[in-house]
Amino acid sequence: MPWMYAVSALCLFICLPFFMHYKRALRFKLGAAFKMLGTLCAASLALIAAVKLDQHCWICFAALILDAVADYLLEFNLYLGTGFFLAGHLCYICRFTGLFPVSSLHLIIALILLGIIAVLFWRWRKSIGKQMPFFAVYGAVLAVACTCAIAGLSARTLQGQMIAVGGALFFISDVILFTRLLFSAPRSVDWAIMITYYCAQLLFGMSCLM
């Protein structure tokens, strides 16, 4: 338990502020390194669980490593970074469907999340333009991954609740990110994106230890 608190503090109170500081100072490589390190904090939790508790946690560890790489690359190349995120989402889908078998709850949640994305993309279609296929593919995979996480509520366990909250935060983070990619936004929006994102990843990592 102390290790979880220490890792969370390192992620949210050291990696996040330094990432935001160096990004604002236009030292992008150093900022991206701290951004990646924040996700690696969550990955360390999954690694401990995979080594000591449950080998299935290697899938979650793989997802977090892919996301950490994506965090770095996304600061320089949107498409390459998104590709790694897609691979990470696929790992999460495998992990969460193994924990929470597909049910009618998955269908309900998926319809809600896909509906939200469809409405937003329709409203933003002029700003998205020719990138619509790219956005649509990522949005669909994101919705499925978050669906598989939020469906953890059906387990009625602490682990399931942590994963469900993490899935909801991940979805919120990416919706805000979509908005910032398309429209101008104040610096506070970047903080909102990263706080919700890191909290989601930390919850996924912590859930492996439950």
pLDDT at 184 over 90: no
pLDDT score of 31 = 95
Structure tokens at 116: 């939200």
Would you call 10 exposed, middle or buried from its count of C-beta atoms within 10 A (0-12, 13-18, 19+)?
middle
pLDDT score of 2 = 76
In the chain, what percentage of residues exceed pLDDT 70?
Answer: 100
Work out the widest C-alpha separation in the chain, in whole angstroms.
50
Name the pLDDT band for 146 (thresholds 50, 70, 90). Answer: very high
Sign (positive or negative) of CA dihedral 102, 103, 105, 111: positive
pLDDT, tens digit, 9 for 90 and up, residues 46-90: 999 999 888 888 999 999 999 999 999 999 999 999 999 999 999
Residue 137 amino acid letter: V
50, 61 contact by CB (below 8 A) = yes
- Measured CA to CA, the distance from residue 21 to residue 16 in angstroms comes to 9
